[in-house]
């Protein structure tokens, strides 16, 4: 059974690249270009893991993470935050919002796939 990952990033290039990395890693990929689109995707799907960019217009990744945590269906879904801002404050805000882990951008294929696999195994293979 393929694991599905929702990727949320306002940069189309990044969204495409991360999608390709994950597909090559054997995952199914759902994509959203902003927080509103992400919440719409979550109305229809419950992914196994969610990858968020922090810096997005409108609702940022931190606020989106808060919303994800408040939803009963995604309250325990692993969340990985990506950001070009690798500063401690962004990391702290992301963790406080309920993110499980953090990766700086630009992202390397191996790091991303390894991190996603680790997070999914830690989340427990509930199928």
pLDDT at 16: 96
> At residue 127, does pLDDT exceed 70?
no
Q: Does 126 have pLDDT greater than 70?
A: no
- Dump pLDDT digits (tens) for 42-91: 999 999 999 999 889 999 999 999 999 999 999 999 999 988 776 788 88
What integer pLDDT is reported at residue 30 of this predicted model? 98
Residue 62, Cβ neighbours under 10 Å: how many? 21
pLDDT tens column, 79-124: 999 887 767 888 889 999 999 999 988 888 999 999 999 999 998 7
| Separation CA 60–CA 82 (nearest Å) | 12
Q: Measured between alpha carbons, how far is 1 from 43 in angstroms, rounded to an integer?
A: 21
CA–CA gap between residue 85 and residue 93 (Å, rounded): 12
Give just the sign of the alpha carbon dihedral 99, 104, 107, 109.
negative
Ranges 5-14, 16-25, 53-62: which has the least confidence: 53-62
Q: Which residues have C-beta within 8 Å of that of residue 55, sequence separation ≥ 6?
A: 10, 61, 83, 84, 85
- Would the pLDDT of 9 be above 50? yes
Q: Sorting pLDDT into bands at 50, 70 and 90, what band is 37?
A: very high
Task: Give domain limits for the chain.
Answer: 4-108
Q: Which CATH architecture fits 4-108? A: 3-Layer(aba) Sandwich (3.40)
Q: Show the DSSP H helices in 1-127 as ranges.
A: 12-24, 35-44, 61-70, 88-96, 109-123
């Amino acid at each position: 059974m393929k694991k599905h990952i929702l990727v949320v990033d306002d940069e189309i290039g990044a969204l495409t690249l991360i999608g390709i990395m994950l597909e090559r890693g054997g995952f199914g990929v759902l994509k959203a270009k902003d927080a509103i689109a992400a919440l719409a995707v979550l109305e229809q799907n419950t992914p196994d893991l969610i990858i968020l960019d922090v810096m997005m217009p409108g609702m940022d990744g931190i606020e989106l993470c808060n919303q994800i945590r408040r939803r009963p269906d995604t309250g325990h879904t692993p969340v990985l935050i990506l950001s070009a801002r690798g500063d401690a404050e962004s990391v702290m805000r992301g963790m406080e919002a309920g993110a499980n882990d953090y990766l700086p951008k630009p992202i390397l294929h191996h790091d991303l796939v390894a991190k996603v696999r680790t997070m999914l195994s830690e989340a427990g293979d509930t199928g």
